[in-house]
Structure formats: C-alpha cells, structure tokens
C-alpha cells in the first residue's frame, strides 16, 4: 500500500492507497516543531482504526510546501514504515510534465501535483483553483505542461487580516451572505470577502483564458471550494481529492 503525504501551510493530510482505493485519510495541523516520533505514534494509532498496520505500507510519497517539514516526514517514513519516500521537487522524481517558468524550482509542490492530477483526469487546457491558505490559480496546457498561474491570499487569511488590522472588525467565519449589501458589520464583511472572491475567481478565469487564447476547463479543489462553486458557473468540476490523486499518479510514474 502507498502512504501519500500532502503537507500544506495549515494542514498535513495522510492517505493510504490500496491501488485506486483510499483505505484511510487523516489530517493534522502543520507544525515545524513536531517530531517524526510524534507523527509516527499518532499515525500508527489511526491506521489501527482503519484495520491497518505499519507493515501494510510498502511505499510513500511526500509533497510539502513547508521545507522545514520535509526531513521530519522522510524520517517518519523510514523509521515507522521502512521505506524511502519519493519527495516531489527532488531532481530524481519525474512528474511527466514540463514546467515552463523562468524559475521552475520556486513552484510549490502542491501546485505541480495538482497539475499532474488535473491533466490525468480531465481533458483540454485547464485552470486549477486551489482554495487553501493561499488561493492559487494554476494553468495547464492541453499537452499537460505547467504554464504558471496566479496566487492570491486565502479567504481565511483575508478575514484574519481584516480582524487584526481594523480595531472594530470582529473575527468571523467565511459564509455566503443573504445579500450583497450588508446591513451590519458582520454581513458586510462576509459580503466583501465572499462576493469579492467570486469576482476574483471570475475575473482571473476570464483573463487567463484570454491570455492563453482559449477557454479552459476549470477544476476547483480545497476545503472551501464547494462554497464558491455554488456561486459561479465558471467552475466546471469540484475535485476534493485532486492533490492526493496527483501524488498517486506521480508515484506510478516513478516505480
């Protein structure tokens, strides 16, 4: 079985694949000071709840946007599962696509993994929107090459910035407001963030499509993707497992 680890800025997702089937999926908060043993004990207990044991894991793959966590996760795989993990971004790991950027080494591993998964699952030129700590827009050519994209602050990050920078604005949760014109502070904040991000999505998708010269299929992933998909018709597919499926696909291409 394959252990796939997606380490983001906010959460780390661990998933176990048996072929195409996901046997278990768990998440933990990302913490640079957490040790391999802490992750190992925690994950071993969770594997047990799914009827699995460490000996069932025969391979592992890691994608991390937090460089400080890579060594810890590699140690976890070696010490608790007896395998040397593939790490997306290391030179020997083949992605099966060309990264057509001025500085390819700067691209986050999660963005490349999403590009691989989207090209494997959908046809045509693609725009992948990932609603994470940052909201990223990644552009994939029809042949699968990674063309670049755009990065905006994540929705929760924007809400936190409003609360921290403005003394009278409270900390609120993101949600779809009843109307655009808020009649009090909280609905006004919700409207500005929610409908503002809908405008951001629609505007960037339109401008990207104009720049690449063709309409693109738009795939959304990330925790808040369903909330925004219901408000706009520019998103064609919702794929919550996109990053994990990308890790599975990259592992296949390297074994």
DSSP string, 229-252: HTT-SS--EE-TTHHHHHHHHHHH
The rounded distance, in Å, linking the Cα atoms of 27 and 5 is: 10
Q: Where is the binding site for ATP, in residues?
A: 6-13, 133
Taking CA atoms, 114 is separated from 73, 117, 222, 245, in Å, by 20, 5, 11, 8
Q: Where is the binding site, in residues?
A: 6-13, 108-111, 130, 133, 185
Catalytic residue among 33, 37, 56, 110: 110
Q: Which residues contact 227 (CB under 8 A, 6 or more apart)?
A: 174, 175, 176, 194
Specify the 3-state DSSP secondary structure of 136. strand
Q: Where is the binding site for K(+), in residues?
A: 130
The rounded distance, in Å, linking the Cα atoms of 137 and 200 is: 11
Q: Which residues contact 178 (CB under 8 A, 6 or more apart)?
A: 187
The rounded distance, in Å, linking the Cα atoms of 174 and 131 is: 12
Quickly tell me which residue has 């794929």 as its tokens.
239
Residue 37 annotated in active site:
no
Sign for the CA dihedral angle at 55, 57, 59, 64 comes to negative
Long-range contacts of 47-51 (CB under 8 A, 24+ apart): 47/16, 49/24, 50/16, 50/23, 50/24
Report the catalytic residues. 110
């Amino acid at each position: 079985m394959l252990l796939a680890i997606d380490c983001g800025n906010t959460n780390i997702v661990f998933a176990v694949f048996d072929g195409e089937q996901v046997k278990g999926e768990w998440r933990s908060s990302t913490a640079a000071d957490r040790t391999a043993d802490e992750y190992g004990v925690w994950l071993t207990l969770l594997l047990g709840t799914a009827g699995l044991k460490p000996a069932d894991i025969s391979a592992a793959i890691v994608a991390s946007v937090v460089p400080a966590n890579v060594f810890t996760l590699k140690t976890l795989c070696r010490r608790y599962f007896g395998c040397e993990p593939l790490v997306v971004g290391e030179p020997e790991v083949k992605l099966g696509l060309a990264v057509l950027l001025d500085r390819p080494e700067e691209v986050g591993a999660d963005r490349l993994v999403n590009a691989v998964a989207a090209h494997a699952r959908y046809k045509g030129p693609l725009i992948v929107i990932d609603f994470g700590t940052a909201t990223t827009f990644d552009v994939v050519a029809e042949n699968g090459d990674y063309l670049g994209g755009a990065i905006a602050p994540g929705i929760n990050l924007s809400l936190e910035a409003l609360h921290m920078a403005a003394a009278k604005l409270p900390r609120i949760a993101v949600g779809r407001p009843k109307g655009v014109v808020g009649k009090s502070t909280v609905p006004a904040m919700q409207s500005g963030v929610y409908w503002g991000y809908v405008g951001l999505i629609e505007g960037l998708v339109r401008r990207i499509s104009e720049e690449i010269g063709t309409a693109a299929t738009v795939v959304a992933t990330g925790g808040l993707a369903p909330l925004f998909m219901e408000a706009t018709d520019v998103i064609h597919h919702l794929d919550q497992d996109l990053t994990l499926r990308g890790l599975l696909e990259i592992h296949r291409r390297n074994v």
